[in-house]
């Protein structure tokens, strides 16, 4: 049996490390510059999920760079489902 770990590093398993910052930044800037969007929402999983926290950090930084206000109502929390 093989275990593949996604997003974080574990010495015991195969790891797939993702670069959320590049993709998220390119998408946000595309919406802002190409389409003129100024109310860009973020859909994320519950608080304290590692990669979701990272995307929230990128989101806030990009809002700041574009001189857009942070609006807590523009952050939508989805629920993780257990199978």
User: How does pLDDT run across 64-79, given as a tens digit for each residue?
Assistant: 999 999 999 999 988 7
Strands (E), the chain: 4-6, 14-16, 42-44, 75-77
Judge whether 83 lies within some domain. no
- Domain membership of residue 82 (yes or no) is no
The confidence score (pLDDT) of residue 13 equals: 82
- Mean pLDDT of the residues in the chain: 86
Q: Is residue 63 part of a domain?
A: yes
**Residue 57 placed within a domain:** yes
Residue 53 within any structural domain of the chain: yes
Domain count within the chain? 1
Percentage of the residues of the chain whose pLDDT score is greater than 90: 47
Phi/psi for 72 (5° steps) reads -55, -30
Q: Which structural domain range is residue 11 located in?
A: 4-77
- 77 alpha carbon, distance to own chain's centre: 12
Structure tokens at 65: 């760079």
* Prediction pTM value: 0.73
How much is the pLDDT for 58?
A: 93
Task: Tell me if 16 is assigned to some domain.
Answer: yes
Please tell me which residue, 49 or 63, carries the higher pLDDT value. Answer: 63
Number of C-beta neighbours around residue 52 at 10 A: 19
What SS3 state is found at 42? strand
Beta strands 4-6 and 14-16: pairing type?
parallel
Average pLDDT over residues 21-47: 91
């Amino acid at each position: 049996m093989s275990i593949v770990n996604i997003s974080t590093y574990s010495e015991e398993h195969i790891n797939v490390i993702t670069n959320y910052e590049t993709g998220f930044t390119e998408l946000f800037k595309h919406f802002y510059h190409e389409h003129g969007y100024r109310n860009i929402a973020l859909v994320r999983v519950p608080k304290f999920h590692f990669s979701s926290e990272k995307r929230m950090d990128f989101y806030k930084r990009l809002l700041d760079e574009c001189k857009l206000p942070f609006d807590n109502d523009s952050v939508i929390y989805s629920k993780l489902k257990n199978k």
